[in-house]
């Protein structure tokens, strides 16, 4: 018998990042960000000190948005087309097939916001293996960028997005309170 599942969790490694389709849950991905090497999530916060009699009487704090960065070692043509509203064209067949995708089109500067999943391997405090997931409801992607190519490190594809407050979740259902997303600890299946 395994120990009880706890609400205390440690996450280790990003195993998956995916664009969600906006109508189904986190299990139904629309496009994998294949070969994630690293990802970062940082809140953009603000504050204001209310001053009176030459002292700070109160501090107001607020959340503006979050910024996500994901770096991958693979270039998935279908995912890029999905996020930026492009079309992958192909010609030829077999080993001589050729794929082509526009890079940095004008229409790709401001694209439709999409939900995003970032999944990490995790264990709870009783050492039960779990998934730890970030589900972000509204990610406004910036144009792609590249790092490299570099000797013995290759070419890396960089995605970045502003995560905005949303009144709906990743399936389009209304939220009781606006949020950027949610955290999930679930059994590894």
pLDDT of residue 94: 94
Q: How confident is the prediction for the chain on average, in pLDDT?
A: 90
pLDDT for the residue numbered 29:
60
Domains and CATH numbers, the chain: 9-43+59-187 (2.30.110)
Place of tokens 């990610």: 139
pLDDT at residue 188 tops 90: no
**pTM score of the predicted model:** 0.86
For residue 110, the model assigns a pLDDT of 87
The token pair at 73 is: 């070692």
Identify the band that residue 30 occupies on the pLDDT scale cut at 50, 70 and 90.
low
pLDDT in the model for residue 122 = 95
Portion of the chain with pLDDT greater than 90, in percent: 68
Q: What's the pLDDT tens digit per position in 103-125?
A: 998 888 889 999 999 989 999 99
Region of 92 (left: φ > 0; alpha: ψ -120 to 50; beta: rest) is left
26 neighbors 117 (Cβ within 8 angstroms): yes
Residue 85 has pLDDT above 80, yes or no: yes
34 class by beta-carbon count within 10 Å (0-12 exposed, 13-18 middle, 19+ buried) = middle
Instruction: Tell me the sheet residues that pair with 157.
Output: 72, 146
Q: What is the pLDDT of residue 28?
A: 60
Residue 70 bridge partners (DSSP): 39, 159
Q: In which band, very low, low, confident or very high, does the pLDDT at 138 lie, cut at 50, 70 and 90?
A: very high
Q: Which one-letter DSSP state was computed for residue 172?
A: S
Judge whether residue 55 has pLDDT over 70: yes
Question: Average pLDDT, stretch 51-77?
Answer: 93
């Amino acid at each position: 018998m395994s120990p009880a599942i706890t609400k205390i969790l440690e996450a280790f490694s990003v195993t998956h990042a995916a664009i969600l389709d906006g109508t189904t849950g986190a299990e139904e991905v629309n496009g994998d960000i294949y070969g994630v090497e690293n990802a970062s999530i940082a809140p953009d916060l603000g504050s204001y000190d209310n001053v009176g009699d030459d002292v700070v009487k109160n501090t107001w704090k607020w959340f503006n948005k979050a910024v996500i960065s994901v770096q991958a070692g693979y270039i998935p043509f279908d995912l890029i087309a999905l996020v930026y509203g492009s079309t992958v064209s192909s010609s030829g067949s077999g080993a001589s097939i050729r794929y082509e995708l526009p890079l940095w089109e004008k229409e790709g500067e401001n694209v439709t916001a999409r939900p995003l999943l970032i999944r990490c391997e995790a264990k709870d405090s009783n050492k039960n293996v779990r998934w730890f997931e970030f589900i972000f409801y509204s990610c406004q992607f910036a144009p792609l960028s590249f790092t490299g190519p570099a000797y013995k490190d290759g070419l890396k594809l960089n995605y970045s997005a502003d995560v905005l407050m949303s009144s709906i979740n990743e399936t389009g259902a209304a939220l009781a309170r606006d949020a950027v997303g949610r955290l999930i600890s679930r059994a590894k299946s």
